[in-house]
Structure 1
Amino acid sequence: MTTSGVTGVDRLKPKIIEGEELVRFGPRMKENAEKFGDKPCVIDEVETLTWAEFGDLVARVAGRLQSMGIGPGHMVASLAENSAMNVVMYAGVLYAGACMVPLPFSATEEALIKERADCGASLLFTTAQYHDMAERLGADTLVDLADLRDWIGDAPAIDPVAVTDEDLFDMIYSSGTTGTPKGIVHDHLFRSRQFSRTSSYGLEEDGVLMMSTPLYSNTTLVAAIACMVRGATLVSMKKFNTIGFLELSEKHRATHAMLVPVQYMRLMDEPRFDEFDLSAYQCKMSTSAPLPGVVIEQCMKRWPGNIMEFYGMTEGGPATVLDCAAHPDKWDTVGQPQPGADMRVIDEDGNELPYGSYGEVVGRSGSMMPGYHNNPEKTREATWVSPEGEHFVRTGDMGRFDEDGFLHLLDRKKDMIISGGFNIYAADLEAVLRKHPNVADVAVIAIPSRDWGETPLGLVVPKGAASAEEIRDWANAQLGKTQRLSAVEFREDLPRSEIGKILKRELREPYWEGQTA
């Protein structure tokens, strides 16, 4: 076990909200278990747990942890796919006041070993699918979630352990593929403030939320934890597939879902989509990457309920929301800053730019990470201090705010293409290519050019009969002279992370081997 390496010196300072009343996770779980009793709480492919059953298991997981001396200041890790028992374990760790560290099973073994060592968790929960990998991570104690009830044994159901604002809630590791991954820590203040925002999107006790992205992702946790706090029902998918998602949505009368853009794309491409009764849906949420306007248009036509698109960081700070029903003319944006969020744009030297200028987006809000675990240097690198002395989180995203205050994102700063001295934003080129009827998916990357240093290449997953050259010429006819694609190449698919982000570094590597750039 270990205590957090985030000290008072390293901590970012979130906004102060006068008179706020915070919901604590542990006490709310006990309250919900008593209030909702036989109502379904968590459903997976194997079992359904009522709120009473869930609450008892969570309180006894905490009792078992307490008997091991685990509580506030300690970290517990997991390496496991989605399941009801994974949710129980996660909630039990929080109920005990400890910090939950869900390790990303999509990471390499090298990265996972570093993450387990960095967090120092000596107790690791896993499943049969990841047991062999888990054994190599160096934890003292390994518990299979299939045996969770046996591990609990006759441990008593305890009351929730008291925590402070600064006690750590969970830690999410960044998805970096090189170096030591960064542990992004969230304290109870961070998560408690997030809970208070969910009611405005209709996720209440009568809601049914589909969970189809991994529980180690902040994308998933934002919705899943809020679902539990609100007393709603959580439907857990072990692994996303279109037909399974649609079948479960219809069967359980799902009202809400948190999805990433690639899932929306795949659902819209599913030939059987319109066969399913999705009339119970009230709201679908999207995050992790901008949701293309053409996809929003299809979903709004074919799928009941609204779409709320969120932009933010696992680190917290910047936060925008796009209400797609209310703003059909802004589907090419990621919305406006959420209430309480202060967002600005800065240049290369860290100078604040006038409204409407292109630059790096920075943000500040009530929910901000205290810092990176054991890494004050990286915390400082991720922080911009305003002229007023306030801490902002640097996003690494390039964008601008329009005259109505909506944020237009362009690219990750590191992914910008510089060709012949001109800055080219891949997002602009991808937006044009997506409009072609024979393009199913697309990524634009920089490749070496003897004449221009770099030049844009379109990687397209095709549908239909158009050739790569035809698609390139069609797109170039709509692009500026300095933006034009050098070529389009076809791919069967594009590599993506578990939460749907295109792995552009992986796409670029073959073209840059042996290059100095």
Structure 2
Amino acid sequence: MIFTGPHAPTPVPDVAFTAFVLGDAGRHAERVALVDVAGETSFSYGELVAGVERVAGALRARGLGRGDVLALLAPNVPQFPVVFHAAASLGATVVVLNPLDTTADLVGHLGGAGAVLLVTTEEQALLRAPELVAGTKVREVVVFGHAPGTTPFTELLDRTPDRTPDRTPADGAGAGAGAVSVVEVDAASDVVALLHSSGSTGRPKGVMLTHRNMSANVLQTNGGAPLEEGERVLAVAPFHHAFGLIMVMNASLRQGATVVTMPRFDPQGYLQAIQDHRITRLYVVPTIAVLLARSPLVERYDLSSVRTVISGGAALDPQIARLCEERLGCRVAQGYGLTEGLVSFMQVEGSPAGSVGRATTNIEFKIVDITSGAALGPGLEGEVLVRGPHVMKGYLDAPRATGEVLERDGFLHTGDLGKVDADGELFLVDRIKELIKYKGQQVSPVELEAVLMTHPNVADAAVIGVPDEEASEIPKAFVVLREPATAQEIMTFVAERVAPYKKIRRVEFIDAIPRTPVGKTERRTLKERKHATQ
């Protein structure tokens, strides 16, 4: 059985992604498009388009063109979208990299993608530029700032733009005013962005997203979580991640919002930014939602401008969502997707607590039995598969891995266990590969984590399966305490609230749960620890 959402199908334009995002920029040319949280660097929409034109001309002069690869290694700064769309407008692919990755990982990503240009920060260049480019195809490093042996970004930004016959103004900019020029691309097959999956179930893989994939994702965001005129968005979700790149950066620019960039998260700075910039829309991960719901710091700041909070990256506890709504007096919703197919589901008004919402525009999905692959009806648990124009082209240079997740009919295996109700609301249970196999029974770590988080002395928790000779695997909890408690107290608390086979059988107290930048628990890191037994 194939399910769809409440939205009517919407055509996805077969145009270059930059034309889709910035095609209407001329209609609000004077409005601030991007500003850093300190207010030191900003671009109006008119300046953004002009900056994209100038940087594109400079990149073109360096030989960058359709099919070439530019690497972008930077936190959230106003210059990030300028570089991204300058390269994209030339038909190049942008590989977005995580500044927190190790040098070895970054070198692997640069080499695997075949990047010929690297744009990064002064800090990154001073720390490791020589190591990053050694042995790769990178022939020039461009820096936001100054560093020996590199090219200042201002040199590209100050270049006089050029328009050549194969670069035409994007449609929809209003009599050509403020239009950004783009080269002709095959929107359905040309890759505009290369991201890397989280690697929670193995080594990170390059996810190839075409111009059409990215445009479809933006349409789904804008349909499922539309912005009103004049909204201000705080961008703390990393632009190198699909959540930040698509939902926060590009979907906001497409709708003419002002994007306030924050290069790194710190609680007080985050709350101060909301107050100072009168932020109306927050895109958060669950750990930030917990801050908004529970931290005493919140009382020190005026957050009355916030209208909507959208959570993504990992499952949001319904209780946290409710507390956040009550405290801020705003709507809190969550969406669901993955790097390979973002914005697949979004909560709407009236969505029940615990759901991740209904399918967004142009989405089809089904629930299949994890053993037989047979399609299941409402109320039955199985793997969630999605299909739509947002689903990736495939993994870079990994046909076998691509074939394992992409069916020939276009359905993408999410690896998530879930069920759908009669109204089309999707409820996620857990990651299939993370289910604990206890004496033949399947135990969900997420379910146990939710129980642990109701203990008054528990600040954070994560659960994994650890090998056991008799049971195959047993559930083990890693717990961060806010008040003293013993391991036995924790295990008894959980045992009183779950079936016997689901009981926590080991507890280890730690200072912090390791998480990805978007809040997902790094279970692999926990499994690699030399565990204490309690």
| Fold match by TM threshold 0.5 | yes
Q: Which moved more, 1:222-231 or 1:20-29?
A: 20-29
Is 1:37 paired with 2:37?
Answer: no
Residue of structure 1 in register with 2:175 after alignment: none
Residue of structure 2 in register with 1:225 after alignment: 250
Alignment of 1:378-389 (within 5 A): 378-385=401-408
Equivalent position amino acid for 1:34 in 2: G
- Displacement of 1:179 after TM fit? 7.1
Contact 1:97 1:163 in 2 (8 A): yes
How many residue pairs match? The answer is: 491
Equivalent position amino acid for 1:484 in 2: K
> Percent identity among equivalent residues?
30
Is 1:340 paired with 2:362?
Answer: yes
Residue among 412, 415, 423 paired with 2:442: 423
Residue of structure 2 in register with 1:376 after alignment: 399
Residue of structure 1 in register with 2:83 after alignment: 89
Contact 2:292 2:324 in 1 (8 A): no
SS, match of residue 132 in structure 2: coil
Give the 3 Å change call, closer, same or farther, for CA 405–27 of structure 1 in structure 2.
Answer: closer
Structure 2 distance, partners of 1:421, 1:27, is: 53
Contact 2:51 2:82 in 1 (8 A): yes
- Displacement of 1:455 after TM fit? 0.8
- Displacement of 1:129 after TM fit? 2.2
- Displacement of 1:21 after TM fit? 4.5
Is 1:471 paired with 2:465?
Answer: no
Contact 1:202 1:283 in 2 (8 A): no
Structure 2 distance, partners of 1:280, 1:134, is: 41
Is 1:357 paired with 2:357?
Answer: no
| Deviation string, structure 1 residues 3-25 (Cα, Å, up to 9, x no partner) | xxxxxxxxxxxxx9685556754
Is 1:260 paired with 2:289?
Answer: no
Residue of structure 1 in register with 2:42 after alignment: 48
- Displacement of 1:497 after TM fit? 1.2
Give the 3 Å change call, closer, same or farther, for CA 162–409 of structure 1 in structure 2.
Answer: same
Structure 1 distance, partners of 2:358, 2:221, is: 17
CA RMSD in angstroms, aligned pairs only: 2.4
Give the 3 Å change call, closer, same or farther, for CA 319–345 of structure 1 in structure 2.
Answer: same
Q: TM-score normalised to the size of structure 1?
A: 0.89
Residue among 286, 289, 295 paired with 1:270: 295
Residue among 183, 188, 204 paired with 2:211: 188
Is 1:163 paired with 2:185?
Answer: yes
| Deviation string, structure 1 residues 105-135 (Cα, Å, up to 9, x no partner) | 2222222111111110110011122223333
Contact 1:309 1:334 in 2 (8 A): yes
Structure 2 distance, partners of 1:226, 1:498, is: 20
Structure 2 distance, partners of 1:407, 1:279, is: 31
Give the 3 Å change call, closer, same or farther, for CA 70–365 of structure 1 in structure 2.
Answer: same
| Deviation string, structure 1 residues 94-114 (Cα, Å, up to 9, x no partner) | 222221111122222222111
Contact 2:367 2:382 in 1 (8 A): yes
Q: Which moved more, 1:214-223 or 1:88-97?
A: 88-97
Equivalent position amino acid for 2:70 in 1: V
Residue of structure 1 in register with 2:68 after alignment: 74
- Displacement of 1:174 after TM fit? 1.8
- Displacement of 1:157 after TM fit? 5.0
| Deviation string, structure 1 residues 68-107 (Cα, Å, up to 9, x no partner) | 2322212110111221122321222222222111112222
| Deviation string, structure 1 residues 423-477 (Cα, Å, up to 9, x no partner) | 1111111111112222211111112323312111111111234433222211110
Structure 2 distance, partners of 1:416, 1:178, is: 12
Structure 2 distance, partners of 1:54, 1:505, is: 41
Residue of structure 1 in register with 2:97 after alignment: 103
Structure 2 distance, partners of 1:272, 1:19, is: 45
Residue of structure 1 in register with 2:196 after alignment: 173
- Displacement of 1:264 after TM fit? 1.1
Residue of structure 1 in register with 2:505 after alignment: 486
Contact 1:174 1:181 in 2 (8 A): yes
SS, match of residue 137 in structure 1: helix
Contact 2:32 2:42 in 1 (8 A): yes
| Deviation string, structure 1 residues 293-325 (Cα, Å, up to 9, x no partner) | 1211111111232122111121117812123x5
Contact 2:21 2:250 in 1 (8 A): no
Give the 3 Å change call, closer, same or farther, for CA 156–177 of structure 1 in structure 2.
Answer: same
Give the 3 Å change call, closer, same or farther, for CA 187–193 of structure 1 in structure 2.
Answer: same
Residue of structure 2 in register with 1:299 after alignment: 324
Give the 3 Å change call, closer, same or farther, for CA 180–116 of structure 1 in structure 2.
Answer: farther
Structure 2 distance, partners of 1:264, 1:317, is: 20
| Deviation string, structure 1 residues 141-172 (Cα, Å, up to 9, x no partner) | 11112221123443425423233312222110
SS, match of residue 309 in structure 1: strand
Residue of structure 1 in register with 2:169 after alignment: none
- Displacement of 1:188 after TM fit? 1.1
SS, match of residue 65 in structure 1: helix
Give the 3 Å change call, closer, same or farther, for CA 447–19 of structure 1 in structure 2.
Answer: closer
Contact 1:398 1:410 in 2 (8 A): yes
Equivalent position amino acid for 1:370 in 2: K
| Deviation string, structure 1 residues 410-431 (Cα, Å, up to 9, x no partner) | 2212211111121111111111
Structure 2 distance, partners of 1:336, 1:500, is: 22
Residue of structure 1 in register with 2:130 after alignment: 135
- Displacement of 1:233 after TM fit? 0.6
Contact 1:442 1:461 in 2 (8 A): yes
Residue of structure 2 in register with 1:5 after alignment: none
SS, match of residue 268 in structure 1: helix
Give the 3 Å change call, closer, same or farther, for CA 31–366 of structure 1 in structure 2.
Answer: closer
Structure 1 distance, partners of 2:369, 2:221, is: 33
Contact 1:104 1:173 in 2 (8 A): no
Give the 3 Å change call, closer, same or farther, for CA 417–492 of structure 1 in structure 2.
Answer: same
Residue of structure 2 in register with 1:251 after alignment: 276
Q: Which moved more, 1:424-433 or 1:173-182?
A: 173-182
Is 1:331 paired with 2:335?
Answer: no
